[in-house]
A and B are shown apart, each in its own frame.
Chain A
Amino acid sequence: MHVELRDIDKTFGKVHANANISLNIPPASIQGILGENGAGKSTLMKIFSGFYTPDAGQILLDGEAVSIRSPADAIRHGVGMLHQDPLDFPPMRIIDDFILGREGGLFPNRRAAAKEFRELAGRFDFSLDPDAYVDTLTVGERQQLEILRLLWLGARILILDEPTTGISLPQKEKLFATLKKLAAEGMTILFVSHKLEDVEFLCDRAAVLRQGELVGVAEPPFDTRQLVEMMFGKEVPLAPKKKATPGAKVLSVKAVSLEDVRLQIRGVDLHVRAGEVIGLAGMEGSGQSLFLGACAGLTQPVAGSFCLDEDERDMTGRSHHDFKKEGVAYLPAARLEQGLVPGLSLTEHFVLSEGMRGLFIDRKRAESLARERISLFNIKGAPDSLVEALSGGNQQRALLALMRSPLSLILVEHPTRGLDIESTIYIWGKLKERCAQGTAIVFISSDLDEILQYSDRVLVFFAGQVSPPLRADSLNVEQLGALIGGKGWESLHKEAVNA
């Protein structure tokens, strides 16, 4: 089916997620959609598949304008979307999951459906047992199930959102073979990814989005340099940094392996020194959050150890509160969900974080503490302001203000995400003050400029792989962008020697 997206526009509050995007996709082809986090890829695909309604714009299928207002509308027009996290029903049997969403009839005909399921699975060489439960499947198999389901529902356009995250190499090869076969049979496929290699290997064309805009379209043979530049923008020359003089060891990560549902990280080694800033770069969900949480004792490693301070005290297996007592602070990205308590005032937060003791709250002391911190951190709010009433930037300042002193290590996720320039500069000023006092900082950011500007060393995460520590001053945005997209990992060990 021929797909045309015409002038699609969508804003969320102040964010212009899609700005007049137009795309033309011929039938029987695989269209790559590239872009970093927040570039607008998912928004565009969710509009196409009926999850969001666009503010403006048109969708044309085979030249005819269609109105897609819900996912059910989308599948009626033959548009099926495979979400990054498969939208299936883990406690159900595969066959029941399969027939969900099919219209008609009070009682589903399981036997007929199972027969069709087997035929369909056989066509693509998928080995799925219709009577097994969905939660016994791997992410890759759940994708296969979802593809079969969408095909059975009559999808003629398939959208895949980051489908190669969390699946094994053989599963990826099988997925790619399936997609090529489907495209050859006339299916139109939209392949959303930040992995350059996958797009270069698979796609007949690639469109690149950045900050809600379509910045360019490329055709094979793809030029990696050009794609990276389109994804991340031109390099901005930055002011030269002062060279940090690293102090004593603060955190030693020794051969640490971590696991969660989607990811496995193997054998990470890192020594963080006092006053040093380490940036963790990578697309969201590449393992950096898992790693940072483990450094704070929030998740336990499956192998290896975490040690603190020069004498390398082993903290493996200890709780976050033990880490906290040793001077490790952890600042989560979701400020209002994880960092602050909605419904409590700033004063109450300071009382809690200082661990004030006694029976009755010393209101006077609490309020003077709050006033002092509010002015010190320039928070726009009163002691009795509820935290949810503060702006994002002020919430982030409050999080910083809640940190105790002294600290040996600050672990922070996305310190400036969603903040304006003024707040960004302010937050980093405060963090750098801590560094000057000998605190080390490890932070996650998806902003490459931020990583390069503030880090002394950088770890790059890609699908659970972790690079050796790289010196930030030997990297540029282009190299870093390529690494995040999974390119250029072979030459890494050479550079690590220099670091």
Chain B
Amino acid sequence: MRDTPSRRALFQIGAVVLALLITTVVLMAAKAPPLAAYSNIVLGALGSWDVASNVLVSWVPLLLVTSGLLLTFTVGLWNIGIEGQVTLGAIFATWALRDLGSSGWSPTVIIVVAVLAGMAGGALWAMLAGALKTFGGVNEIFGGLGLNFVATALNIWLIFGPWKRPGVASMSGTLPFDQSLWMPTLNPQSRLSLITVAIAIVAIIAVYLMIQGTYFGLRLKAVGKNPKAAYLLGIPTWQHMMASFALCGLFAGIAGAIQVTAVYHRLIPSISSGYGYLGLMVAMLINYKAAFAAPVALFFAALNVGSIQLPIVLKLDSSLAGVLQGTLVLFVLLGQGLRQRVLKKSQVGS
């Protein structure tokens, strides 16, 4: 069997069908009507301008973390610490907003500084994982996972400690910022800020161009595919790994800053909302190809927002979106594995 585009598409479609099948089985096991559930997800994501704009609100951070992760995947690293990097971005942005809120600076400048602070926070946390790997020999998966817990703890401590609401600390987060420090949205009721959408689009285009067209991107690829040979070809390998960590952290930091300034207008305990892990799934699903990041991230965001309806309408848990996303990634990866086995076998046979 030869590897043709149509064969590849066949495996992809097969994966989607199987994922839907498994999710349907899960639904039936939960004694829920599958078709009603699916139609509710679609309605919940696209039924009105309001929910559709929520999909975009969710798309922005997801696309940002996916953009960053494409860089670390290119250099061959598993930046599972991305969750913590988003959290640190949010913390640093909150810090800037709190500190500068009464400085008398123009709100626009303060917001810009807050986003820059978020970038610095994310990059710092990512480089910590990178330094642990480079100088401490700690696998980036373990280091990143550990740092995620530290970031969460730091976040909770800030919310319940130094930054608590006057009077009583609350799981609902810090006191909201002054309305002048909110990222401008489409209208007062909406949480959608076109500026953030623009940032996310610029981010993915920048990453696409970086990987496809720059010397830096080519060197990242070489290090990712064969660090030994890359080193012999004269590429400073660990420096490139650190650089990709730092860049990924920047993107994660922007995502965190946007959650704080544009979406929640305060720091909340679960500020990263699992976007980091979801971004890992998107990156795997698109086989680390930047060109597909935007549509697939949009699809995942739509699933997330659409399933919010389920508890209300069908008394189902909204984690159904996670089931669908997870099985989809699993089957696509399984499909790739099977395809390679089949190819190998037919090569040996011929």
Instruction: Tell yes or no: B225 within 8 A of A by CB.
Output: yes
Q: What is the 8 Å Cβ interface bit string for chain B, positions 215-231, against chain A (1 contact, 0 not)?
A: 11011011001101111
| Interface residue total, chain B, C-beta cutoff 8 A | 20
- A104-112, A352-360, A420-428, A449-457 - the one binding chain B: A352-360
Instruction: Tell yes or no: A481 within 8 A of B by CB.
Output: no
Q: Which residues of A contact B225 (CB under 8 A)?
A: 341-344
User: With the chains together, A343 CA to B76 CA distance in Å?
Assistant: 13
A361 near B213: Cβ-Cβ < 8 Å: yes
Instruction: Tell yes or no: B29 within 8 A of A by CB.
Output: no
Query: In chain A between 314 and 329, which residues have their CB closer than 8 angstroms to a CB of chain B?
Result: 320-321, 324
Which among A330, A344, A349 has the highest number of chain B CB atoms within 10 Å? A344
A341 near B234: Cβ-Cβ < 8 Å: no
Q: Which residues of A contact B230 (CB under 8 A)?
A: 341, 352
A341 near B229: Cβ-Cβ < 8 Å: yes
Instruction: Tell yes or no: A285 within 8 A of B by CB.
Output: no
B233 near A360: Cβ-Cβ < 8 Å: no
Closest residue of A by beta carbon distance from B231:
A320
Instruction: Tell yes or no: B296 within 8 A of A by CB.
Output: no
A342 near B233: Cβ-Cβ < 8 Å: no
A356 near B232: Cβ-Cβ < 8 Å: no
User: With the chains together, A361 CA to B215 CA distance in Å?
Assistant: 5
Instruction: Tell yes or no: A94 within 8 A of B by CB.
Output: no
A344 near B236: Cβ-Cβ < 8 Å: no
Q: Taking A352-B235, A353-B233, A402-B233 as contacts, is the C-beta distance between A341 and B214 under 8 angstroms?
A: no
Query: In chain B between 189 and 247, which residues have their CB closer than 8 angstroms to a CB of chain A?
Result: 209, 213-216, 218-219, 221-222, 225-226, 228-236
User: With the chains together, A356 CA to B219 CA distance in Å?
Assistant: 11
Q: Which residues of B contact A360 (CB under 8 A)?
A: 209, 213-215
B215 near A358: Cβ-Cβ < 8 Å: yes
| Interface residue total, chain A, C-beta cutoff 8 A | 26
Q: Which residues of A contact B209 (CB under 8 A)?
A: 360
Query: In chain A between 36 and 88, which residues have their CB closer than 8 angstroms to a CB of chain B?
Result: none
Give which listed residue, B216, B221, B231, B234, contacts A353 with CB less than 8 A: B234
User: With the chains together, A349 CA to B228 CA distance in Å?
Assistant: 14
Instruction: Tell yes or no: A27 within 8 A of B by CB.
Output: no
User: With the chains together, A324 CA to B232 CA distance in Å?
Assistant: 9
User: With the chains together, A402 CA to B221 CA distance in Å?
Assistant: 18
Give which listed residue, A339, A342, A359, A402, contacts B215 with CB less than 8 A: A359
Give which listed residue, A320, A344, A355, contacts B232 with CB less than 8 A: A320
A352 near B232: Cβ-Cβ < 8 Å: no
A124 to chain B, nearest CB (A): 39
Q: Taking A320-B232, A321-B234, A330-B232 as contacts, is the C-beta distance between A342 and B226 under 8 angstroms?
A: yes
A404 to chain B, nearest CB (A): 9
User: With the chains together, A246 CA to B230 CA distance in Å?
Assistant: 33
Closest residue of A by beta carbon distance from B235:
A352
Closest residue of A by beta carbon distance from B222:
A341
Q: Which residues of A contact B234 (CB under 8 A)?
A: 321, 324, 352-353, 355
Interface residues, chain B, with chain A CB atoms under 8 Å away: 209, 213-216, 218-219, 221-222, 225-226, 228-236
Task: Return 15 A-B CB contacts under 8 Å, by A number.
Answer: A321-B236, A324-B234, A337-B229, A338-B226, A338-B232, A341-B222, A341-B233, A344-B221, A344-B225, A348-B218, A349-B233, A351-B218, A360-B214, A361-B214, A402-B233
- Given A341-B225, A360-B209, 6 other A-B residues pairs in contact with their CB atoms under 8 A: A321-B234, A344-B218, A344-B221, A352-B234, A359-B214, A359-B215
